[in-house]
Amino acid sequence: MQFDFSQILSTTMVLFAIIDILGSIPIIIELRKKAGHIQSEKAAIVATALMIIFLFAGKTLLGVIGVDVESFAIAGSFVIFALAMEMVLGLTLFKEESPDTVSIVPLAFPLIAGAGTMTTLLSLKTEYATQNIIVGIILNMLFVYFVLKNTNRLEKLFGKTGLNILRKAFGIILLAIAIKLFRTNTGL
């Protein structure tokens, strides 16, 4: 088992763009206001577990329902494309609700570890070594935990304009990732 710094950096950056925790700060702030409190540790641990489980068992789960990885990746590219368009155009597809389990649903899943993240993990697995992807997941989840713990401070630091700029910048990165996923898995 050999760790490759360039693979770790690549997977970390791709997952960082997909998870887009900085772009999700406005949603997190709203959830925190509605629910009163978000359990940052619980959200980060559950999201990490979901991602690692899907990294190892995702292909098998897809096989059980008769879907190949390429088809899932293409479908995921559409999901990522929709998320990116939401970010770039300022649309809201995610409906904020405040159930008692707000730290798990909708925060850990689907906001942090959603369909786009799961698709990306399967795609990354075809290109990179599993241990490097796991390190990328863990680095991202440490950052997610930091952001969840410091949402109010970050809101003040970036301001509304700064958060909007971050969201749009990561939206463009996600658009490029969606197009790459589509091209790679369709052979275009």
Tokens 């709203």 correspond to what residue? 30
DSSP class of residue 50 equals H
**pLDDT in the model for residue 100:** 64
Are the CB atoms for 43 and 142 separated by under 8 Å?
no
Q: 188: exposed, middle or buried (C-beta count within 10 Å: 0-12, 13-18, 19+)?
A: exposed
Average pLDDT over residues 17-21: 88
**pLDDT in the model for residue 74:** 81
Per DSSP, the three-state class of 23 is coil
**pLDDT in the model for residue 107:** 83
Task: Select, from the ranges 70-74, 126-130, 133-137, the one with the highest average predicted confidence (pLDDT).
Answer: 133-137
What is the Cα 182 distance to its own chain's centre? 18
The pLDDT tens digits for 145-185 are: 999 999 889 888 988 888 788 778 877 877 887 788 788 88
Q: ∠ CA(105), CA(100), CA(95), 5° rounding? A: 45
Distances (CA, A) of 149 to 45, 104, 114, 152, 186: 13, 15, 20, 8, 40
Q: Indicate the pLDDT class of residue 47, thresholds 50, 70 and 90.
A: very high
Q: Which two tokens stand for residue 143?
A: 């950052």
Task: Select, from the ranges 15-24, 112-121, 125-134, 169-178, the one with the highest average predicted confidence (pLDDT).
Answer: 125-134
The pLDDT tens digits for 85-100 are: 877 887 766 554 545 6
Task: Select from 107, 133, 106 the least CA-distant residue to 120.
Answer: 133
Q: 89: exposed, middle or buried (C-beta count within 10 Å: 0-12, 13-18, 19+)?
A: exposed
Q: Which two tokens stand for residue 171?
A: 């939206």
Are the CB atoms for 27 and 87 separated by under 8 Å?
no
